[in-house]
Amino acid sequence: MKYFNSKMSILSGVLILSIGACKTDNKKDLGNQTKQPILGYRSAKILKVEGFGFKDLNKDGQLNPYEDWRLSSKARSTDLLKRMSLEEKAGFMLISTTRLENDWSFSRPQNDKPITSGFNEVDQINETNIFTKKPLAYPTMTAAGTTKDVTQFHKRHFILRANPTVDILVNYTNNLQELCESNGHGIPGIITSNPRNHIAIDASIGLTVGKTPFTQWPGELGLAAMRDFDLTREFAEMSGEEWRSVGLRKGYMYMADLATDPRWQRVEGTFGEDAQLASKMMKEVILGFQGDSLSNTSVALTTKHFPGGGATEGGQDPHFDWGKREVFESDMFKNNLIPFKAAIEAGSSSIMPYYSYPVHTPYPEVGYAFNKEVLQGVLRGELGYKGIINSDTGPIDMMPWGVEELDFIERYKMALEAGVNLFSGTADPTKLIETLKKYPELSDYVDASVQLLLEEKFNLGLFENPYVDLNKAKEIVGNSNFKEKADLAMKKSIVLLRNDTESSNALPLKEKTKIYFETYLPKRGEDSSNVFKPENYTGNLQFVDTPEEADLVLLWLVPKGKSLFQSDGSPLHVNLSNNGIDTKYVNSLIAKKPTVLAINFTNPWAIDEIYSDGESGNVTSVLATFGTTPEAILAVVEGKFNPTGKMPFSTPVNDQAAIDQKSDLPGYMEGEGYALFNFDEGISYGE
């Protein structure tokens, strides 16, 4: 890696050219930047002008306006836009999966070698939908060989799906940036990912990466349950620092959707059912990751899924044709917009429309990526959004709901006219290029899109230095300070819902209480139960191997339904027995001893098969978790931490209540008798 700052003249044998003046006289477009930034480069030469250094990205020996960091992002983007061909613009408007060497995301492994920081030069062409596994009308290229992607397809937007080590990740992002720098105009890449900092039950490609080398925090619902917005901001700032350190500069996150249908398989990634709570959370995560405005210390965020995907029909998701209708039967469309308004006010760099289409609204019943009335009328018009509209993965070739009868070219045309700036999914720009050649009148939409995308890169400082330092990354990722804060969040995310203070086994537990701690996580073909005994334990409880030896059972249930991408259109349920829990076994365990019941909520589970307020049996206390650790639960149970969490949603009294719930209506608006545990419910010791 080579770096230049104002104190350097020649580095590593690289000649620094000296020229008399900038090629432009855009003095009126000069930005506020007057201090020499650090320039990271590998193949570009450094031009020296008026005592400053600049990267000669297109290798023409002259300082072009887009290479001049003293100019505004708008001026630089305008200049570079004029230099780009139609084919370059088309490639620039696509974002697709980038794969490392021996990374076989979305395909069957072609070898059993470990992932490395090299390039995967194999095109991944799918004849079936990568999510639903249904046959496609036309094969689609979900990932291109890396060199081809950059040099032939002119791509500069990439989605990283793999979960490698810090070393491999840093080396790969640097290698990819070096390839981008060496080609054409030297436009840097921007590497995007789904969330990487949360404990998640449904960790799937396209949702969340799951356990990674990064600091692990509670799930999104857990962050919302904390009701600690300062700590939420710290989470985002610390996580953003980890992302930047490895070269990830954009996130496909977070979800501003409201969890109004309790059966929806994406509830785990939301901040709950309440629009005001979700708004506060969106503000903090965006300002934490991005800052007050985009800069070289930002990770740009893509807020999902406009205009809110939680009002699903039957809880089914629009990745599938049986979930394509979003039903606003209670006229709550505008309620769904509230968190997106907060995201816009906080400066969300991008917003992603969902696949579904609205029912019972004034808007056309076509997918949101094609819905001009929603994107231009509501998002751009009513909400005043001026940033990037980034489609979800595959509306053109995989989930074209409402426009199935149109061919690819007509779908692209409709989406461009609706306002999409960046198309996620396919790696191959051929059909988009055909569209632009057939309809040259679309050029204004294209230029406006490319301008937005370029300005984001300039604002992020990627043109000056897209490279990262491995040693710094190792110091930052997963450091002890971050882990200490995350451990606090794990405890603060736990909600105490019931506590029989008249019982001798009320929480917090007395010293030397003998407890049998069992975690129950459904596993295919394996024993779901596991006896947990903490290592290096220094507390005052005693852990035993069987319920019979115990004074009390601590039972942590982690229900797990079908993963989103295992959906088959069959009815969805929220009762425990339909989500991996053997309720007969659980009831037999509870019957043996007084029990502290902890339940991990990735959906608003109905737990009436094992507990209700009128029939609590041996259950003396109930805790709610949302992606945490056994150690955090123990800290609460033995009184080392006084619980403060509040529920991010209501939970139905039974499965039928969930089936009967109106899809766009928060549980707390369903009326008396709907909920067992209410939104915002939660108690502390002493209450």
**Catalytic amino acids?**
392
The dihedral of CA 266, 664, 272, 306: what is its sign?
A: positive
At 397, list the tokens. Answer: 């070739």
Q: What stretches of 469-601 adopt beta strand conformation (E)?
A: 495-499, 514-520, 529-531, 542-543, 552-557, 595-600
Helix (H, G, I), strand (E, B) or coil at 382: helix
Answer for the pair 311, 664: CB distance below 8 angstroms, yes or no: yes
Q: What contacts 566, CB < 8 A, 6 or more positions away?
A: none
Report CA 126 to chain centroid distance, whole Å: 24
User: In this structure, what are the phi and psi dihedrals at residue 368, rounded to the nearest 5 degrees?
Assistant: -60, -25
Distance, in Å, from the CA atom of 374 to the CA atom of 177, rounded to the nearest integer, reads: 36
Any idea how long the chain is? 687
Answer for the pair 79, 458: CB distance below 8 angstroms, yes or no: no
Q: Give 375's DSSP letter.
A: I
Long-range contacts made by residues 74-82, C-beta under 8 angstroms, separation at least 24?
74/29, 74/451, 74/455, 75/26, 75/29, 75/31, 76/454, 76/458, 76/463, 77/450, 77/451, 77/454, 77/455, 77/458, 78/451, 79/24, 80/185, 80/187, 80/454, 81/447, 81/450, 81/451, 81/454
SS3 letters across 579-619? CCCCHHHHHHHHCCCCEEEEEECCCCCECCCCCECCECCCE
Distance, in Å, from the CA atom of 201 to the CA atom of 558, rounded to the nearest integer, reads: 9
Q: What stretches of 182-332 adopt beta strand conformation (E)?
A: 190-193, 250-251, 300-306, 325-327
At 320, list the tokens. Answer: 């599938």
At 584, list the tokens. Answer: 């007969």
Distance, in Å, from the CA atom of 154 to the CA atom of 450, rounded to the nearest integer, reads: 13
Distance, in Å, from the CA atom of 198 to the CA atom of 440, rounded to the nearest integer, reads: 45
CB atoms within 10 A of CB 614: 5
Write down the residue that tokens 């390039």 correspond to: 119
Distance, in Å, from the CA atom of 271 to the CA atom of 259, rounded to the nearest integer, reads: 8
Distance, in Å, from the CA atom of 276 to the CA atom of 435, rounded to the nearest integer, reads: 41
Answer for the pair 227, 284: CB distance below 8 angstroms, yes or no: no
Would you list the DSSP string of 299-356? Answer: -EEEEEEET-S--BGGG--TTSGGG-EEE-TTS-HHHHHHHHHHHHHHT-SEEEE-S-
Distance, in Å, from the CA atom of 530 to the CA atom of 518, rounded to the nearest integer, reads: 6
Q: Give 66's DSSP letter.
A: G
Q: Which helix (H) or strand (E) holds 622?
A: strand 619-625
Helix (H, G, I), strand (E, B) or coil at 631: helix
Q: Partners of 552 in the beta sheet?
A: 515
Using a 10 angstrom Cβ sphere, with 0-12 exposed, 13-18 middle and 19 or more buried, the burial of residue 60 is exposed
Q: Which helix (H) or strand (E) holds 163?
A: none
